[in-house]
Copies of this chain bind each other. A is one copy, B any other.
Amino acid sequence: MSGRVPAASGGLPDKRRAISEAARRVFGREGYARASLDVIADEARVAKRTIYNHYTDKEHLFLSVAVEGADAVTEAVRVLMERHLRKIVDLEEDLTAFCLDRARAVTEFPEHFALVRTIHAEVTRLPAPVLETWMAHGPPSAHQRLAPYLQKIADRQLLRFDDAEKAANRLNTLTMNDVLIRSFYGAVPLPESVVEEIITEGVQAFLRLYAPLPDTHDEQV
């Protein structure tokens, strides 16, 4: 149908992309075991045989798609950090805006979080190196990138802590993780108002723990 261009790893790039997008949808919708390569081929408007020209295996296809998705989300989060945390105007406002946008990513990448749930379910059957790849590209990697931003904020005396990594993890715990767990990792979306409440109060708690002037914030949460 389309022709040539020496593809990166065999096969035409547009076909490859069509396959990987269809695979993301189908794996997200059906889970790993239920997802059928016939269905993926149909949705990608591609012959099933072509899939095997690009990927050796159902398993390889799944992992490739998972890592791509993780990279996309990590990159999206990086952009959010740049936008909200590069220049701090009002710390509470900026943190809240950042965490809110971050939490909204859960509803904006539904197929990806479906994949995350599937990976959780399959984790015990995953070979160790694959699991390490996932950890390097997945959510934990996005978490790590937060620490340097907090460190810079602390350098400006707007926060106080010993360990930036731990503080970053605290912020994640108090905001993102709460949203993730209560929404079943995005499977049962929370009303926007609930998300706002969780994030707002989470950030407030974070500031009460790490802001250098405890009396500038309300005592009650």
Q: How far is the CB of A32 from chain B (nearest CB, A)?
A: 8
Copies of this subunit: 2
Within 8 A of B (CB), among A155-209: 160-162, 166, 169-170, 173-174, 177-178, 180-181, 184-185, 187-188, 201, 205, 208-209
Interface residue from B33, B123, B185, B208 paired with A209 (Cβ < 8 Å): B208
Which residues of B are found within 8 Å of A208, using beta-carbon distances? 208-209
Asked if A162 contacts B31 (CB within 8 A), the reply is no
Interface residue from B160, B173, B187, B221 paired with A123 (Cβ < 8 Å): B187
Q: How far is the CB of A69 from chain B (nearest CB, A)?
A: 15
Which residues of B are found within 8 Å of A117, using beta-carbon distances? 120-121, 123
Chain A: interface size category? 35 or more
**Cβ of A220 under 8 Å from chain B:** yes
